[in-house]
Structure 1
Amino acid sequence: MHETAEATVTRKSEEELKELASLARLVAYARENARELNAEFSAYCLDLALGALLQDLDGSGVSLSQANDQDSFLPGTRH
Structure 2
Amino acid sequence: MFGRLRPPPSSPDSLERYPAKIIKDDPLSVYGTLSLSRYINWDGVHLTEGMYKVMADMFLDGSFTRPKFSYLLNKKLNGL
Output the TM-score relative to the length of structure 1.
Answer: 0.26
Please identify the structure whose Cα radius of gyration is greater. 2
Pick the structure with more helix per residue.
1
| Structure with the larger RCO, 1 or 2 (CA within 8 Å, 6+ apart) | 1
